[in-house]
Amino acid sequence: MKLKDKVAIVTGGAMGNGLGIVKVFLKYGAKVIIFDYSDKLEETLQKLREDVYDVEGYTVDIRDRNKINECMKKVVEKYKKIDILVNNAGVAKLTPFEETTDEIRDFHLDINIKGTWNMSQEVLKYMPKDGAIVNLSSVTGPMVADSGEVAYATTKAALLGFTKGLAAEVVEKGIRVNAILPGYIMTPMVEGIAKDSDSENPASVVKGIADGIPMKRLGTIEELGELAAFLASNEASYITGQSFVIDGGSTLPETMSVGV
């Protein structure tokens, strides 16, 4: 139970990667509080509580610093501390660069960067020594990119600079900051990409993605959760300011060619 009695806030924990992180943290004994703006939050909390997990949730827009601090104060009133923050909440709206409006650009900046900034700055008021912050970046931006991803890729790349800069500042407080770079994980976002494609068979789109990954499959949200749990635990006590790719080897091939 490597997270036993740790108090963890996970943003965007009602679904997708965030839910995987929440489930794994709970498995390892953490007390988890989900900050999410999704209408799936209550449904997720109900399902988790049916499994007798110690989990709470607040409807929070991470663009709203006042709401963040209001809810964090409630967490601290009950648990006296916040040991772990996972900045998972993020958005991706793919549009050609020349058609990307200021509103779409700022939507990414406000949530993916400013939201992570807001959460991190507020949580440091309550985080004790041996605390940990885990930021969800992506292989998109720092390592690879496709057409239509300029806004998303820009923000996810920026999170690596944020991770390193913050890690350097809080290391003397005994707080560690690291980042995870997921590749294709089977999430509602991927399912949405498949459904929005021109294909009449979304499952074939997912299979096509899997076929391009050396491991021939997409990752699971629980596998990502295991990596987040490691980075948040004392097992990673000598690791800070680093980024960790979890992508089944999708960024490994030097070329797309399989011939000699």
The pLDDT value recorded for residue 260 is: 43
Which positions ≥6 away from 150 have C-beta within 8 Å? 97, 100
Catalytic residue among 37, 152, 184, 238: 152
The pLDDT value recorded for residue 115 is: 98
The pLDDT value recorded for residue 205 is: 85
CATH, range 7-182+220-238: 3.40.50.720
DSSP-based helix, strand, coil % in the chain, nearest 5: 45, 15, 40
Look at strands 31-36 and 55-59 and give their pairing.
parallel
From residue 27, how far is each of 18, 20, 100 by CA, in Å? 14, 11, 41
Look at strands 55-59 and 243-246 and give their pairing.
unpaired
The pLDDT value recorded for residue 257 is: 53
The pLDDT value recorded for residue 131 is: 98
Does residue 152 have an active-site annotation? yes
Which positions ≥6 away from 45 have C-beta within 8 Å? 34, 55, 56, 57
CATH 3.40.50.720 domain extents, the chain: 7-182+220-238
The pLDDT value recorded for residue 16 is: 96
* CA 10 to mean position of chain CA atoms: 8
Backbone angles phi, psi at 213, to 5 degrees: -100, 130
The pTM of the full predicted model, rounded to 2 decimals, is 0.94
Compute the distance between CA of residue 239 and CA of residue 236 in angstroms, rounded to an integer: 5
The pLDDT value recorded for residue 256 is: 63
In 3D space, the residue among 197, 96, 180 whose CA is nearest the CA of residue 134 turns out to be 180
* CA 133 to mean position of chain CA atoms: 11
Compute the distance between CA of residue 159 and CA of residue 40 in angstroms, rounded to an integer: 26
At which residue do the structure tokens 């406000």 appear? 110
Residue by residue, pLDDT tens for the chain (260 residues) are 899 999 999 999 999 999 999 999 999 999 999 999 999 999 999 999 998 788 999 999 999 999 999 999 999 999 999 999 999 999 999 999 999 999 999 999 999 999 999 999 999 999 999 999 999 999 999 999 999 999 999 999 999 999 999 999 999 999 999 999 999 999 877 777 666 666 677 788 889 999 999 999 999 999 999 999 999 999 999 999 999 999 999 999 887 654 44
